[in-house]
Structure 1
Amino acid sequence: MKLLGGCHGGPDRKYQVLETELRPTSQSHPVTRGVSALTVREEFYYALKWSDPKPTPLMEAVIDGEAWPVSWGWERPGGGRSFGFSGLHFHANWDRPEYRRLVVQGVLWTLGREIPADGVALPDVEPAPGTQ
């Protein structure tokens, strides 16, 4: 928790595999620039435990009719940044440019790099074998 700003664990942890909407909570944060909402089949951990101060929610997923933060950015009180995302369980999702952009920009933001206003340009990639 001290490193990432949030965690999933303990006897009260929650997760679901489902098809749902994943959407940015803010377009002004550098990590979500150029990332649009999408419908995705994924395993999400939700009802996460948060540090104090709480991280900034970046993406939310609708689970059981409620929007839950599933991705976040955190500027640690002692310095440094962390990016978290409770998805990324299915390789087929890496074929989605929105997923790749979110993760690439999360890494760049963590490193303190500048992210363009319309998001990082990503190369086209071949779908992962067995994901079509």
Structure 2
Amino acid sequence: MRAFLIVLFFSASSLGNLLSVLFSDDPFLPASLRPSNSLTTVSAPAKKRIVFIAGACSHGAGEHEHKAGCLLLAQRLNATMPTVDAVVYSDGWPSDSSAFTNAAAIVIYGDGGEGHLINQHLESVNTLMKKGVGLACIHYAVEVPKGPAGTYFLDWIGGYFETFWSVNPVWTADYKSLPKHAITTGVKPFTINDEWYYHMRFRPNLDGVTPLLTTVPPASTLDRKDGPHENNPAVRAEAGQPQHTAWCRERPNGGRGFGITGGHYHRVWADDNFRKLVLNAIAWVAKVDVPTGGVPSATPSKEEMGLNQCPH
């Protein structure tokens, strides 16, 4: 009688477990009740590896602080995005090719043009791009030489700074409205003084390119004489027209790219909206879901902004 009462307190699943133990060798026991020889484990999803490549020191204090900027952004991502593993390689291209193993995205923040870090690695990077790895380029890193590198950039991120076509004045850009996109999530209209490149070389008709920051540069940005970066007839012909200074592209294979022309001055990373836009973009190119409200990040203190800067 006592045994009967005990059995009544067992749930159906508990009873099944008991039977499977007591009669595990019974050939007539249903397969669903036989004990499994393997243990089922649930593992956490692998983190998205984001590889930051910071260029060397090249300008005065507070300018082109590539290492400091990368470390600040990577720290913010690692602190608030549990599915991200952001790592920073400083002062040049990683010498160990394993740096890109399982990378979800690459972020380049360094000098560009003929000295761009990527120029000697175009084919290896293209292999990664074909696999769907994301690419984000910040400030000078959007400038590559016209030719093979420029053609690759049109495919990888949708546009680039082309000498004798694009210009690099310092001016105060006023972004009064932003398009709806994952990258602009939680970003409010903002105004910021920086070296904003514009009149970029984009894919024809902006095919596959989504502008993110657009405004009309003031006439003063065209005051300089003609030069490879300073001015040219083509940009003067578009005086008073809206220009795109940040954009993104989703490639046919699913890989994603992002470019932003600001970031000359280190102080811009203290601006909550500028910083959020770039953090959102990095998450987006790595195919990490951008949280509601955008990637959260605390405003860096004056002390933090002074960390990891170039010696001057």
**TM-score, normalization: structure 1?**
0.87
Which amino acid is 1:88 matched to? Answer: G
Equivalent residues, number:
128
1:7-43 deviations in Å (ceiling 9; x for gaps): 11132222210122134531x2000011111111111
Give the match for residue 33 of structure 1: 185
In proportion to residue count, which structure has more strand?
Answer: 1
Moved more, 9-18 or 88-97: 9-18
Task: Determine the C-alpha separation between the residues in 2 that align with 1:118 and 1:46.
Answer: 28
Give the match for residue 273 of structure 2: 98
Task: Determine the C-alpha separation between the residues in 2 that align with 1:80 and 1:29.
Answer: 17
Task: Determine the C-alpha separation between the residues in 2 that align with 1:86 and 1:59.
Answer: 10
Deviation at 1:60, TM superposition (A): 1.5
Higher relative contact order (CA 8 A, sep 6+): 1
In proportion to residue count, which structure has more helix?
Answer: 2
Give the match for residue 175 of structure 2: 22
Q: Which runs of 5 or more residues in structure 2 are unaligned?
A: 1-153, 219-239, 307-312
Task: Determine the C-alpha separation between the residues in 1 that align with 2:160 and 2:263.
Answer: 15
Structure with higher Rg: it is: 2
Give the match for residue 116 of structure 1: 291
Could you tell me whether the CA contact under 8 Å between 2:212 and 2:247 is conserved in 1? yes
Matched, 1:72 2:224: no
**TM-score, normalization: structure 2?**
0.39
CA RMSD of aligned residues (A): 1.7
Give runs of ≥4 in structure 1 deviating > 4 Å: none
Q: Which runs of 5 or more residues in structure 1 are unaligned?
A: none
In percent, how many aligned pairs have the same letter?
28
Task: Determine the C-alpha separation between the residues in 2 that align with 1:104 and 1:23.
Answer: 20
1:61 to 191, 205, 215: 215
Deviation at 1:55, TM superposition (A): 0.7
